[in-house]
Amino acid sequence: MIKIDLSGKIALVTGASGELGRVIATVLAQGGADVAIHYFRNRERADRLALEIKKLDRRACVVSADLGEAASVRSMQKEVEKELGAPDIIVNNAVSQYVWKPVLEQAIEDYESQFQTCVLQNVLMTQTFVPAMIRKKWGRVIAINTECAMQNFPTQSAYVAGKRGMDGILRVLAREIGPHGITVNQVAPGWTISERDRLNGTEQQPDYDKNVPLRRRGEDIEIAHAVAFLASDLASFITGTYLPVCGGNIMPTI
């Protein structure tokens, strides 16, 4: 039987206090990885997740950082290495909150914060954590993008700018660090059902669902499964990809 086996691996998931990050961290732990749980302001959710992961008999630690600040990311690295060791897998998932506005009205601060959490996060996480992967000759850089990066719909400009910016960095990075046995991939969710929707009963969005070839929104666990696959040896020859997990709502051309 083929199975995803991440035992012996250490994963760091940024934004693991958030909706998708929490499920990604849990699924990586279910696959056998020890997990560092990054949060920004919501320590309580991170602590709760750490308890759940420890119940799976995996090691877990909780760390905080502003991912747009080099010093903050470096101090997170020290904590993770002290608690668990150097990560083999990083999942760059965090994103700052976004206000949907037309370009004519979008605040400059929104462009800056998307640049920080999309572009700079990926640069700083790479510069901080990839050197140890190079030493181990094995590593996984997985970043969470979005279907919006291909849709370019009104009010998405700052978000799309950040996500397209990180896409450029990650494609270059895949070429640069591939020779060291490290893969670099992006997972691009559609508008995804998470715990918040389940609590609010907002899973179905008919105006959105009707245009999706699979006629529904994806579930958080379906995003997490794609991440776990890319983290595993089953995806050993996949790098530089942008993998939509959106029921076919976008289809990158070849």
Ligand X SMILES: NC(=O)c1ccc[n+]([C@@H]2O[C@H](COP(=O)([O-])OP(=O)(O)OC[C@H]3O[C@@H](n4cnc5c(N)ncnc54)[C@H](OP(=O)(O)O)[C@@H]3O)[C@@H](O)[C@H]2O)c1
Residue 95 as a binder of ligand X (CB under 6 A): the answer is yes
**Minimum distance between the CB of residue 136 and ligand X, rounded to whole angstroms?**
26
Residues 96-135 as x/- pattern, contact with ligand X by CB under 6 A: x--------------------x------------------
Cα–Cα distances in angstroms (integers) from residue 22 to residues 28, 173, 203, in the given order: 10, 26, 18
The one segment of 3-11, 80-88, 93-101, 201-209 that binds ligand X by CB under 6 A: 93-101
**Minimum distance between the CB of residue 232 and ligand X, rounded to whole angstroms?**
20
Nearer to ligand X, 17 or 183 (CB): 17
Give the residue, chosen from 26, 77, 93, 128, that forms a contact with ligand X under the rule CB under 6 A: 93
Annotated catalytic residue, options 39, 98, 111, 159: 159
Give catalytic status of residue 39 as yes or no. Answer: no
By rule CB under 6 A, what count of residues binds ligand X? Answer: 24
Nearer to ligand X, 137 or 196 (CB): 196
Residue 156 as a binder of ligand X (CB under 6 A): the answer is no
Site residues for ligand X, 23-42, by CB under 6 A, read 39-42
The one segment of 54-62, 64-72, 178-186, 234-242 that binds ligand X by CB under 6 A: 64-72
Q: Which of 3, 17, 10, 66 is nearest to 35 (CA)?
A: 10
Nearer to ligand X, 18 or 31 (CB): 18
Q: Which of 183, 192, 166, 181 is nearest to 241 (CA)?
A: 183
Q: What is the 3-state secondary structure (H, E, C) of the chain?
A: CCCCCCCCCEEEECCCCCHHHHHHHHHHHHCCCEEEEEECCCHHHHHHHHHHHHHCCCCEEEEECCCCCHHHHHHHHHHHHHHCCCCCEEEECCCCCCCCCCCCCCCHHHHHHHHHHHHHHHHHHHHHHHHHHHHHCCEEEEEECCCHHHHCCCCCHHHHHHHHHHHHHHHHHHHHHHHHCEEEEEEEECCCECHHHHHHCCCCCHHHHCCCCCCCCCEHHHHHHHHHHHHCHHHCCCCCCEEEECCCCCCCCC
Nearer to ligand X, 96 or 128 (CB): 96
Give the residue, chosen from 4, 11, 21, 243, that forms a contact with ligand X under the rule CB under 6 A: 21
Nearer to ligand X, 138 or 205 (CB): 205
Site residues for ligand X, 177-236, by CB under 6 A, read 189, 191-192, 194
Residue 19 as a binder of ligand X (CB under 6 A): the answer is yes
- Could you list the active site residues? 159
